[in-house]
């Protein structure tokens, strides 16, 4: 009896630590800031272990770790995917803000200016990088990392380990449209200025053919677009807050089914 009791205690404590550890691992794979390649892998591992240990002391009794390999593998995939889905909602918000720079760069003809960004596979537009960092700073300043950690903690409140429902995955896929919708809406002032400048320069070249489109229109287009983008940045804090609120409601709907 004693060996069985000891084994049961070990599996119970393993469940209390390993289930949060797996879900947090998924979170660190997709969430903004947590998944950044600027943070060393060892630092991420230390944070995941520390968070998992803290959750094991705070959470209610979770199911013990199973002793069947097939169940262990299935639950590992389930917990990692659940944490990844929670982190992906916030990543979509930051990507939506970053897409503003890409759309604005295409509108004003500044897409040729690229940088080798460490978190991407290839070259990215300079405005994309700037808006990405703006979105990331706004996300951090509004408490996004703490909110995600709290979401993972509350996802265990039911004490169960059921996977996300098909409806939750469908809602998450639909929420991905925020990247295009929010990006276009927030970049709309720059697109409007670019259209007006293009129309004006086009009419000028019709009535005054001696004017060079490249030497006059191109600098005006870039200057006007960057000026409007700089002015729009002052009003993006509220937009980022609204996007994070939508992401919070999205996560709340997902974790109710866990």
pLDDT tens per residue, range 121-132:
556 677 888 888
The pLDDT of residue 118 is above 60: no
- Compute the radius of gyration of the chain from its Cα atoms: 24
pLDDT-based confidence at 112, cuts 50/70/90? low
Three-class secondary structure of residue 146 per DSSP = helix
Q: Give residue 56's pLDDT.
A: 79
Residue 14 lies in a domain: no
The Cα–Cα gap between 119 and 90 comes to 16
Residue 133 lies in a domain: yes
The Cα–Cα gap between 65 and 169 comes to 26
Q: Give residue 242's pLDDT.
A: 85
> Mind giving me the DSSP string for 215-238?
IIIHHHHHHHHHHHHHHHHTTHHH
162 and 79 in contact (C-beta within 8 Å)? no
Q: Give residue 5's pLDDT.
A: 47
Three-class secondary structure of residue 116 per DSSP = strand
pLDDT-based confidence at 63, cuts 50/70/90? confident
At 116, give phi and psi (nearest 5°): -90, 100
115 and 129 in contact (C-beta within 8 Å)? yes
DSSP-H helix ranges across the chain:
2-30, 41-58, 69-107, 126-141, 144-154, 166-175, 178-186, 188-207, 218-233, 236-255
- What is the extent of the structural domain holding 238? 69-255
Most confident of 80-89, 154-163, 202-211: 80-89
Residue 138 lies in a domain: yes
The pLDDT of residue 26 is above 60: yes
Q: Give residue 216's pLDDT.
A: 76
Residue 31 lies in a domain: no
The Cα–Cα gap between 24 and 145 comes to 12
Q: Give residue 115's pLDDT.
A: 58
Q: Give residue 121's pLDDT.
A: 55
Render pLDDT for 185-241 as a digit per residue (tens, 0 to 9).
888 888 888 888 888 887 877 777 766 666 777 788 888 888 888 888 887 778 888
Tokens of 85: 């889905």
Q: Give residue 186's pLDDT.
A: 85
Residue 109 lies in a domain: yes
The Cα–Cα gap between 72 and 239 comes to 42
Residue 215 lies in a domain: yes
The pLDDT of residue 77 is above 50: yes
The pLDDT of residue 11 is above 70: no
Residue 41 lies in a domain: no
Residue 58 lies in a domain: no
Three-class secondary structure of residue 125 per DSSP = strand
The Cα–Cα gap between 254 and 165 comes to 8
Q: Give residue 159's pLDDT.
A: 58
Tell me how many domains the chain contains.
1
Q: Give residue 234's pLDDT.
A: 80
Give 257: exposed, middle or buried? Use CB within 10 Å, 0-12, 13-18, 19+: middle
Residues in the chain: 258
Render pLDDT for 172-186 as a digit per residue (tens, 0 to 9).
888 888 888 888 888
């Amino acid at each position: 009896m004693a060996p069985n009791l000891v084994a049961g205690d070990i599996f119970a404590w393993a469940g209390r630590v390993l289930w949060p550890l797996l879900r947090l691992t998924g979170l660190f794979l997709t969430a903004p800031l947590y998944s950044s390649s600027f943070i060393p892998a060892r630092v991420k591992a230390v944070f995941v272990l520390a968070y998992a240990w803290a959750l094991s002391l705070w959470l209610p009794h979770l199911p013990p770790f199973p002793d069947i390999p097939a169940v262990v593998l299935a639950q590992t995939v389930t917990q990692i995917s659940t944490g990844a889905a929670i982190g992906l909602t916030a990543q979509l918000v930051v990507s939506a803000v970053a897409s503003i720079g890409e759309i604005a760069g295409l509108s004003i003809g500044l897409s040729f200016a690229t940088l080798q960004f460490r978190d991407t596979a290839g070259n990215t537009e300079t405005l994309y990088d700037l808006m990405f960092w703006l979105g990331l700073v706004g996300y951090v300043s509004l408490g996004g990392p703490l909110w995600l950690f709290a979401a993972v903690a509350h996802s265990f409140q039911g004490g169960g380990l059921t996977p996300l429902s098909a409806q939750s995955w469908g809602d998450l896929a639909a929420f991905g449209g925020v990247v295009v919708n929010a990006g276009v809406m927030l970049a709309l002032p720059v697109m409007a200025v670019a259209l007006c400048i293009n129309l004006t320069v086009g009419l000028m070249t019709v009535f005054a053919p001696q004017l060079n489109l490249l030497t006059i229109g191109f600098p005006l287009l870039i200057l006007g677009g960057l000026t409007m983008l700089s002015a729009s940045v002052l009003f993006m804090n509220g937009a980022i807050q609204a996007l994070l609120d939508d992401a919070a409601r999205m996560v709340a709907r997902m974790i109710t089914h866990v």
